[in-house]
């Protein structure tokens, strides 16, 4: 069954009428469905089950504590990029031995704290970082697990802002230098180099992209005779926003046999795939002004359309029928780039005061929101077993001067 569906002309989320939540909580607000999150996680797990991988949910997609607890109960680990995310992952009860730490610019205090908290490994992005981790480990008298993040120089065929696997991008270490570091392992006595990490980009819609990168990895490992016990494939698995995308099974089928050749422990770091389709942003129409539909949510609440030109389906909470018009759904922010959808078909009967749902906003929605224009950050609601619960309160004006 679809997560969000019309019943008697009203939009429902897992058994709860969305309009009633919007009236009660006020708009804009984010709304998530628990069943959908669980089912996405299980689909991912099932697709790759023959590899027995460690699935480290990427917190940057959505780090609401209640969602993290759901994922922890399903057995997920965490892919983190900051001490804030480490704090949240541990708070949710995710065991440190399932936490991996990525990022091109880890600070000394972050490395120190993560070592003290006994995380599983660091995905290291430069020789200098490796040196620093070695130095800190030595001071703390500890041995620390690391994977080297390779920049595989593969074209991920996705939006240029979220493509990370190309040579020109700031991420990872080039092949030659990775080989050099492996040969020079002895200069990092406090580090166990467990293996390699790749993350090619986000919303990757071609399974071949993973295939190409993994084949490159295998050739490299054989040529350089490197011992790889752990291989972290990163995230990037897509959801359907507008155009249909291959299923997670399609991705699994195209890479499982390659990965098995390596006999390494496999890690995945999905973010968007787990939570993206499980959330909507509910907003109210403030004004109708020619082709512009001015709503109460803006780019500070959902940045993806403005930043990437991303498409999110927008539907009225009242099932549309009858004649329609083509309009631009725009926010209240003082920027021309503040739009949520352009040239969208909307019912001619749409009135000021009506609600709209912006779909597929569970990932990189709230987590990329800000206080721009001194607006308050939004509440988040979780629907579970036909009940809704506030899992983050709307900010208050006092929060703006804290």
Q: Give the x-and-dash track for 63-82 against ligand LLP (CB under 6 A).
A: ----------------x---
The 8-class DSSP code of residue 3 comes to S
Residue 364 lies near ligand LLP (rule: CB under 6 A):
yes
CB 364 within 8 A of CB 238: no
Instruction: State whether the Cα torsion 325-331-332-334 is positive or negative.
Output: negative
Residue 58 lies near ligand LLP (rule: CB under 6 A):
yes
* In the complex, minimum distance from the CB of residue 24 to ligand LLP, in angstroms, rounded to a whole number: 29
Residue 331 lies near ligand LLP (rule: CB under 6 A):
no
The length of the chain, given as a count of residues: 402
Q: Taking the CA atoms of the chain, what radius of gyration do you get in angstroms?
A: 22
- For residues 202 and 81, give the distance between their C-alpha atoms in angstroms, rounded to a whole number: 16
Binding ligand LLP (rule: CB under 6 A), the pick from 202, 306, 361, 384 is 202
Query: By C-beta, is 19 or 53 nearer to ligand LLP?
Result: 53
Size of the site for ligand LLP (CB under 6 A): 22
DSSP letter string, 333-370: SSSTT-EEEEEEEEETT--TT-EEEE-S-SSSSGGG--
The 8-class DSSP code of residue 320 comes to P
Residue 145 lies near ligand LLP (rule: CB under 6 A):
no
Residue 270 lies near ligand LLP (rule: CB under 6 A):
yes
Question: Which residues lie closer than 8 Å to 270 by C-beta, 6 or more apart?
Answer: 44, 55, 57, 58, 235, 236, 237
- For residues 35 and 69, give the distance between their C-alpha atoms in angstroms, rounded to a whole number: 14
CB 169 within 8 A of CB 162: no
Residue 359 lies near ligand LLP (rule: CB under 6 A):
no
* In the complex, minimum distance from the CB of residue 98 to ligand LLP, in angstroms, rounded to a whole number: 15
Query: By C-beta, is 162 or 194 nearer to ligand LLP?
Result: 162
What are the φ and ψ backbone dihedral angles of 115, each rounded to 5 degrees? -65, -45
Binding ligand LLP (rule: CB under 6 A), the pick from 235, 298, 331, 379 is 235
Residue 344 lies near ligand LLP (rule: CB under 6 A):
no
Query: By C-beta, is 190 or 199 nearer to ligand LLP?
Result: 199
Pairing state of beta strands 191-197 and 144-149?
parallel
Residue 262 lies near ligand LLP (rule: CB under 6 A):
no
Catalytic residues: 334
Question: Interface residues for ligand LLP in 80-119 (CB under 6 A)?
Answer: 102
Binding residues (CB under 6 A) for ligand LLP: these are 58, 60-61, 79, 102, 162, 199, 202-203, 234-237, 269-273, 304, 363-364, 368
């Amino acid at each position: 069954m679809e997560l969000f569906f019309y019943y008697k002309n009203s939009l429902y989320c897992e058994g709860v009428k969305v309009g009633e939540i919007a009236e009660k909580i006020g708009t804009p607000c984010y709304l998530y469905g628990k069943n959908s999150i669980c089912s996405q996680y299980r689909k991912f797990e099932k697709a790759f089950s023959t590899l027995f991988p460690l699935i480290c949910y990427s917190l940057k997609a959505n780090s609401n504590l209640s969602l993290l607890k759901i994922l922890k109960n399903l057995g997920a680990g965490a892919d983190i990029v900051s001490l804030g995310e480490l704090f949240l992952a541990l708070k949710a009860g995710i065991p440190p031995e399932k936490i991996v730490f990525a990022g091109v610019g880890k600070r000394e205090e972050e490395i120190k704290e993560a070592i003290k908290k006994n995380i599983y490994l660091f995905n290291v992005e430069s020789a200098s970082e490796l040196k620093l981790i070695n130095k800190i480990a030595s001071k703390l008298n500890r041995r620390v697990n690391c994977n080297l993040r390779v920049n595989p120089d593969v074209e991920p065929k996705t939006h240029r802002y979220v493509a990370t696997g190309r040579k020109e991008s700031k991420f990872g270490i080039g092949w030659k230098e990775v080989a050099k570091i492996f040969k020079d392992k002895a200069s990092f006595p406090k580090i166990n180099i467990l293996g390699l990490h790749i993350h090619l980009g986000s919303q990757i819609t071609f399974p071949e992209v993973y295939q190409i990168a993994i084949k490159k990895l295998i050739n490299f490992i054989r040529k350089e005779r490197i011992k790889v016990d752990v291989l972290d494939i990163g995230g990037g698995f897509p959801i359907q926003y507008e155009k249909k995308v291959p299923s997670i099974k399609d991705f699994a089928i195209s890479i499982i046999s390659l990965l098995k050749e390596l006999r390494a422990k496999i890690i995945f770091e999905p973010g968007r795939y787990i939570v993206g389709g499980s959330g909507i942003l509910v907003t109210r129409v403030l004004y109708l002004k020619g082709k512009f539909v001015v709503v109460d949510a803006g780019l500070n609440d959902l940045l993806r359309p403005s930043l990437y030109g991303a498409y999110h389906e927008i539907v009225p909470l009242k099932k549309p029928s009858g004649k329609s018009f083509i309009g631009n759904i725009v926010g209240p922010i003082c920027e021309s780039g503040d739009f949520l959808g352009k040239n969208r078909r909307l019912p001619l009967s749409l009135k000021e005061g009506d609600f709209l749902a912006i779909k597929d906003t569970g990932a990189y929605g709230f987590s990329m929101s800000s206080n721009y224009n001194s607006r308050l950050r939004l509440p988040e609601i979780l629907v579970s077993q036909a009940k809704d619960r506030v899992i983050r309160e709307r900010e208050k004006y006092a929060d703006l001067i804290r």
